[in-house]
Amino acid sequence: MKFTGVPILVTMVVGGVVLLDFFVKQSNLILLSREFMNWGVIISAFATGLGAANLLRIHAKRTQLRRTDWWYSGILLCVLVGYTALGVLKHSSSSQYQFVFNHMFQPLSATVFSFNAFFMTSAAYRAFRVRTVHATVLLVSALLMMLGRVGIGEVLYKDMPGIASWISRVPTTAGFRGITIGAALGAIGLSLRVLTGIERSQFGGTGGGGGAA
Amino acid sequence: MNLWEIFQNIDRRVWYVLLLVSLFIPLVRPLGLPLSIGGEARDVYNTIEALPAGSVVIVSPSYSPGTDAEMWPQHAAVMQHLMRKGCKIIQVSLALESVMYAVRAIEAYAPKYNYKMGVDHVIMPYKAGLDVVIASMGRDIHALYTEDYYGTLTSQLPLMQSISGIQDIALVVDFMPGNTLVDYIKQIGSVYNTPITGGVTGVCIPTMMPYVMSGQCRGLLGGMRGAAEYELLINSPGSAIGGMDAQSLSHLLIIVAIALGNIGLVAGRGLRKGGGGK
């Protein structure tokens, strides 16, 4: 049996206070809620640091043990340590830090992301086939959206942007609104389960159950 | 392999080369294709246009270099419009890399509009936590940001001294490839009635449309087209208008690819039914 009583209690108190703050305007409650929110930001920052430390540990070990493709881990370590040192010693507003960002990281990152355009072209060619009625509906709406979002669509038919806008505003919105409301109801249910200690998967277990800690 | 089978099995490398060419040609020789302005972009423009000079606006560039091509032109165009209107700007960053774009926007446009740091604009440092940060911003922005990006105490900055809290913010403009615009609507727009607007990547438009249609989001800039429309609205052509021709041709290529695949499929099917297949 895991010791989960204290984390559940902390979750109940913190979650309860922040939730109550939305409905009850009481000065002490507001102050306490603000404090908890600031703790949340600090914990998030700590989690980011923990992630970086974990990355460092894993890749240092890979490099040390010369595992397969260990040099990639070595490069990662050099960049992680070097760029962090540059930020700490010179500050991220320094010209050196910004040079690395603007002339190395930004173009590399944008290049990797732009590969998607090539994969999407190939995938669209292979996937969009009129094999069923559903596939045909998807294909037609995709074609109208693609033409409606670019200038060449207007050259072919002047009302094309209006058609794309209608698809976006009416059927798409209707579908997404349903999904959003459903997801929100699910989130409320899950939040209540966490707050009341029924949901415990965040402690590493399988969740659910409702038994005592 | 007959013609219809060839249509269905064109090597992906052929498409890669054709796409590269279709993107490259318009960037070298712009085609000047027409571009109409949609209602969503016009709503963003009207919302900013209605702000009185001196209004304090939070601009939140929450994107990273991967979505730079779509998000930066939106960010740049809105920053120009806000500065032209004389609005005070607080830039907050919810993504680790986005603070660099806040700096870039200031370096690009502040000298032109004579915007002074701490007086007309402030750049806040990155804070981890996404919606927790947004909620904290609503509760107490001064407690959340005690120093600006350059390490100056925010209590010493005239712009920050002029606001007591989120109720003094006239508008929040978020640029996101993820979910932060929805978080702003949930944590600030719905709770404090602060107007929210922003821009998203093309693929995020369907996610945001319910909020735009309900009026919770005052208009929307969608992808590169949204940025191009905004550049037209503020009469300041930039990289988005230039990129729209390339996007037009690449979309056309994808449509041709889909058409060829389907012609091959349908014709091949007809051939097999008629007994002409292999």
- Chain B nearest C-alpha distance from A53 (Å): 16
Q: Which residues of B touch A22 (CB under 8 A)?
A: 191
Q: Which residues of B touch A169 (CB under 8 A)?
A: 209, 213
B207 at interface of A, judged by CB pairs closer than 8 A: yes
Q: Facing residues of B199 across strands? A: B175, B221
Q: Which residues of B touch A32 (CB under 8 A)?
A: none
Token pair listed for A146: 């693609």
Sheet with B221-222, side-by-side order of all strands:
B121-123, B88-91, B56-61, B169-176, B196-200, B221-222
Over residues B219-248, the pLDDT tens digits come to: 999 999 999 999 999 999 988 998 898 988
Confidence at residue A212, expressed as pLDDT on a 0 to 100 scale: 39
Q: Which residue of A has its CA nearest to B139?
A: A34
- Chain A nearest C-alpha distance from B52 (Å): 30
Confidence at residue A205, expressed as pLDDT on a 0 to 100 scale: 60
Q: Which residues of B touch A37 (CB under 8 A)?
A: 132, 135-136, 139
Give me the helices (H) in A91-212, please: 95-100, 106-127, 133-148, 151-156, 160-167, 173-195
Q: Facing residues of B91 across strands? A: B59, B123
ipTM: 0.81
Confidence at residue A210, expressed as pLDDT on a 0 to 100 scale: 45
Q: How confident is the model at residue A213 (pLDDT cuts 50, 70, 90)?
A: very low
Q: Do the Cβ atoms of B66 and A37 come within 8 Å?
A: no
A55 at interface of B, judged by CB pairs closer than 8 A: no
B57 close to B170: Cβ distance less than 8 angstroms: yes
* DSSP run (H or E) holding B27: helix B12-28
Nearest to A171 by CA among A144, A189, A198, A147: A144
Size of interface A-B (CB pairs under 8 A): 173
Q: How confident is the model at residue B96 (pLDDT cuts 50, 70, 90)?
A: confident
Over residues B251-262, the pLDDT tens digits come to: 999 999 999 999
Q: How confident is the model at residue A151 (pLDDT cuts 50, 70, 90)?
A: confident
Over residues B139-154, the pLDDT tens digits come to: 889 999 999 999 999 9
Does residue B12 have a pLDDT over 70? yes
Q: Facing residues of B169 across strands? A: B56
Neighbours of B171 (CB within 10 A): 22
Average pLDDT, chain B: 92
Q: Facing residues of A5 across strands? A: none
If you classify domain B39-237 with CATH, what class do you get? alpha beta
Q: Which residue of B has its CA nearest to A106?
A: B65
Q: Do the Cβ atoms of A98 and B103 come within 8 Å?
A: yes
Percent of chain B with pLDDT over 90: 72
Over residues B206-223, the pLDDT tens digits come to: 899 999 999 999 999 999
Confidence at residue A3, expressed as pLDDT on a 0 to 100 scale: 66
- Chain A nearest C-alpha distance from B213 (Å): 7
DSSP 8-state assignment for residue A172: I
For residue B244, count CB atoms less than 10 angstroms from its CB and return exposed for 0-12, middle for 13-18, buried for 19 or more. Answer: buried
Cα separation of the two ends of chain A: 7
B242 at interface of A, judged by CB pairs closer than 8 A: no
B64 at interface of A, judged by CB pairs closer than 8 A: yes
Q: What letters, b where the CB count within 10 A reaches 16 and e where it falls short, cover A14-49?
A: bbebbeebeeeeeeeeeebbbebbbebbeebeeeee
Nearest to A125 by CA among B19, B66, B27: B19
Confidence at residue A206, expressed as pLDDT on a 0 to 100 scale: 57
Does residue B2 have a pLDDT over 90? no
Confidence at residue A2, expressed as pLDDT on a 0 to 100 scale: 59
B1 at interface of A, judged by CB pairs closer than 8 A: no
Confidence at residue B275, expressed as pLDDT on a 0 to 100 scale: 64
Check residues B199 and A37 and name the one with the higher pLDDT: B199
Q: Which of the residues B19, B36, B137, B229 would you substitute to probe the A interface, choosing the one with the greatest number of A C-beta atoms within 10 Å?
A: B36
B202 at interface of A, judged by CB pairs closer than 8 A: yes
For residue A10, count CB atoms less than 10 angstroms from its CB and return exposed for 0-12, middle for 13-18, buried for 19 or more. Answer: exposed
Over residues A66-81, the pLDDT tens digits come to: 988 999 999 999 999 9
> Which of B66, B129, B250 is opposite residue A117, by nearest beta carbon?
B250
Over residues A191-210, the pLDDT tens digits come to: 999 998 888 887 776 555 44
Helix (H, G, I), strand (E, B) or coil at B57: strand
Neighbours of A71 (CB within 10 A): 10
Nearest to A39 by CA among A77, A10, A6: A10
Q: Which residue of B has its CA nearest to A116?
A: B66
| Mean pLDDT in residue range B93-113 | 93
Does residue B126 have a pLDDT over 50? yes
Q: Which residues of A touch B99 (CB under 8 A)?
A: 92
Check residues B129 and B92 and name the one with the higher pLDDT: B92
Nearest to B199 by CA among B72, B66, B55: B72
Q: Do the Cβ atoms of B15 and A98 come within 8 Å?
A: no
> Which of A33, A152, A175 is opposite residue B139, by nearest beta carbon?
A33
> Which of A124, A150, A155 is opposite residue B247, by nearest beta carbon?
A150
> Which of B33, B130, B202 is opposite residue A155, by nearest beta carbon?
B33
DSSP 8-state assignment for residue B146: S
Q: Do the Cβ atoms of A151 and B205 come within 8 Å?
A: no
Over residues A116-126, the pLDDT tens digits come to: 999 999 999 99
Q: How far apart are CA B133 and CA A41, in angstroms?
A: 6
Domain positions in chain B are 3-30+244-273, 39-237
| Mean pLDDT in residue range A8-12 | 91
Q: How far apart are CA A110 and CA A122, in angstroms?
A: 20
Does residue B276 have a pLDDT over 90? no
B36 close to A154: Cβ distance less than 8 angstroms: yes
Confidence at residue A7, expressed as pLDDT on a 0 to 100 scale: 87
B179 at interface of A, judged by CB pairs closer than 8 A: no
Q: Facing residues of B197 across strands? A: B173
B212 close to B54: Cβ distance less than 8 angstroms: no
Q: Which residue of A has its CA nearest to B7?
A: A125
> Which of A91, A122, A147 is opposite residue B15, by nearest beta carbon?
A122
